[in-house]
């Protein structure tokens, strides 16, 4: 099996999973969030590199989230 075929299958599977999640009212959350645990300030980044550049030299206790799922209310 060629690399391109594998990528097509992964892409198709991803679309199917995302469609099923959407039917259940869940969406994939993109990006990474950093939350200062002391001040409760939060910042959102599209990739880890930008997050690390932001945190460089900052003090405090930071919580870093990973991309995940979030629930959305469906309008009827």
The answer to whether 61 and 35 are in contact (CB under 8 A) is no
Check residue 25 and give left, alpha or beta (phi > 0: left; psi -120 to 50: alpha).
left
**pTM score:** 0.53
| Per-residue pLDDT reduced to its tens digit, 5-31 | 777 777 888 888 888 888 888 777 778
pLDDT in the model for residue 1? 59
pLDDT in the model for residue 75? 52
Q: Is a pLDDT exceeding 70 seen at residue 76? A: no
- The number of C-alpha atoms within 13 Å of 63 and in the hemisphere containing its C-beta is 9
Where are the chain's structural domains? 3-71
Q: Is a pLDDT exceeding 60 seen at residue 74? A: no
The answer to whether 48 and 32 are in contact (CB under 8 A) is yes
Tokens (6 digits) for 6: 């594998």
């Amino acid at each position: 099996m060629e690399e391109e075929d594998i990528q097509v299958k992964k892409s198709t599977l991803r679309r199917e999973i995302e469609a099923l999640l959407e039917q259940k009212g869940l969406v994939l959350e993109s990006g990474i969030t950093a939350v200062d645990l002391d001040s409760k300030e939060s910042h959102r980044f599209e990739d880890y590199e930008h997050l690390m550049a932001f945190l460089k030299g900052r003090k405090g206790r930071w919580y870093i989230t990973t991309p995940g799922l979030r629930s959305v209310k469906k309008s009827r």
